[in-house]
């Protein structure tokens, strides 16, 4: 691809889609936001007016057929990811696909096959990999200065929701996919290892309106993983947490400890004369990972211009979906689940 501006269309203009669209329109000089797609006419019109995008469509098929679009950003419900991504690949569009990659590992494989057949690039939206704090942790662990990772724990808790559409695990894979995909990817990325097995438990503590119709829905999850190299991993997630947006990681290694993230809003602490220390909890992922959302799209655009493979691949997306499905299988059966036979020694 030439080094001119990359012409992009955004499919889905909700919360994350709106952030991606704004970054493409206003913060990434190497990109040009050409078109928007959303079945909600009010949201589509509002986003188009705000960003000055006149090409708008309710039908993704119309957008991906446009010859003036080179790449698409897909931010739709997960159940539509496979259909839209495969169609975009067949039309020769490079793809930035928000997490979770798809509903099933089979759908992930279909997307990866379509991308390979078309010769286009695919990046999955795991924005933590572009956050300065997480990147520093990866560098430290990769350097070997702390020795072997013995235990890693990732916490992911959201303040609002979950939406009723998430109650049906067949259509969403639940909060372990929709909320905690980032944690699953973080565990695998920071260890540099593959999931081997998992034992998990889930409970519905707060969502009373889901209990009758969706008895398998859970709003709180705890999962213990064993990796191929025998590192132990823990994921704890909750939605809603109500107190704030909580994204933290602890890595216990042979020669030290890494702590990534905090409950408190960065840069704000009040200490009074009576010795009380007060801080404000982080309220939203929109502000905590604002720079990371920008950086991941800048990386995607640069990969297209320079013909490089994106750092977060379809395999990374597939591994997170495999782990999420295994967590749900463990909760359902009450038994440990093998995630990857080949990963076991």
Tokens of 310: 């994106």
Per-residue H/E/C for 201-247: EEECCCCHHHCCCCCCCCCEEEEEEEECCCCEEEEEEECCCCCCCEE
238-242: average pLDDT: 95
Residue 131 has pLDDT above 50, yes or no: yes
Q: Are 218 and 331 in contact (CB under 8 A)?
A: yes
Please write the tens of the pLDDT for every residue from 318-345.
999 999 999 999 999 999 999 975 544 4
Question: What confidence tens digit (pLDDT) does each residue in 37-84 have?
Answer: 999 999 999 999 999 999 999 999 999 999 999 999 999 999 999 999
Query: Which residue ranges form the domains of the chain, and what is each CATH number?
Result: 6-120 (3.40.50.720), 129-288+320-343 (3.30.360.10)
The stretch 20-34 carries a mean pLDDT of 97
Cα–Cα distances (Å) from 268 to 98, 260, 283, in that order, read: 31, 17, 13
């Amino acid at each position: 691809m030439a080094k001119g501006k990359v012409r992009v269309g955004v499919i889905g203009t909700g919360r994350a889609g709106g952030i991606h669209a704004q970054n493409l329109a206003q913060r990434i000089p190497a990109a040009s936001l050409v078109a928007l797609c959303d079945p909600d006419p009010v949201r589509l019109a509002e986003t188009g007016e705000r960003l000055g995008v006149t090409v708008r469509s309710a039908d993704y098929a119309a957008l991906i057929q446009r010859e003036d679009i080179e790449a698409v950003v897909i931010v739709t419900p997960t159940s539509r990811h496979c259909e839209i991504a495969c169609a975009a690949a067949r039309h020769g569009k490079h793809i930035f696909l928000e997490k979770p990659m798809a509903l099933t590992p089979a759908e992930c494989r279909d997307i990866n096959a379509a991308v390979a057949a078309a010769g286009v690039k695919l990046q999955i939206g795991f924005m933590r990999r572009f956050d300065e704090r997480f990147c520093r942790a990866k560098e430290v662990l990769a350097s070997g200065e702390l020795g072997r990772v013995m235990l890693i724990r990732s916490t992911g808790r959201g303040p609002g929701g979950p939406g009723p559409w998430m109650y049906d695990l067949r259509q969403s894979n639940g909060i372990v996919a929709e909320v905690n995909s980032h944690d699953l990817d973080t565990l695998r990325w920071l260890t540099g290892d593959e999931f081997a097995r998992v034992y998990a438990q889930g409970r519905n503590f707060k969502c009373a309106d889901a209990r009758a119709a969706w008895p398998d829905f859970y709003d709180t999850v705890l999962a213990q993983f064993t990796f191929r190299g025998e590192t132990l991993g823990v994921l704890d997630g909750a939605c809603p947490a109500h107190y704030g947006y909580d994204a933290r990681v602890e890595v216990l290694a042979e020669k030290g400890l890494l702590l990534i993230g905090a409950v408190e809003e960065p840069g704000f602490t009040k200490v009074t004369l009576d010795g009380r220390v007060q801080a404000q909890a982080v309220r939203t992922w929109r502000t905590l990972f604002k720079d990371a959302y920008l950086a991941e799209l800048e990386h995607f655009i640069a990969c297209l211009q320079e013909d490089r493979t994106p750092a977060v691949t379809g395999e990374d997306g597939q591994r997170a979906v495999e782990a999420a499905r295994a967590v749900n299988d463990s909760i359902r059966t009450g038994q440990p689940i093998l995630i990857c036979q080949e990963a076991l020694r």
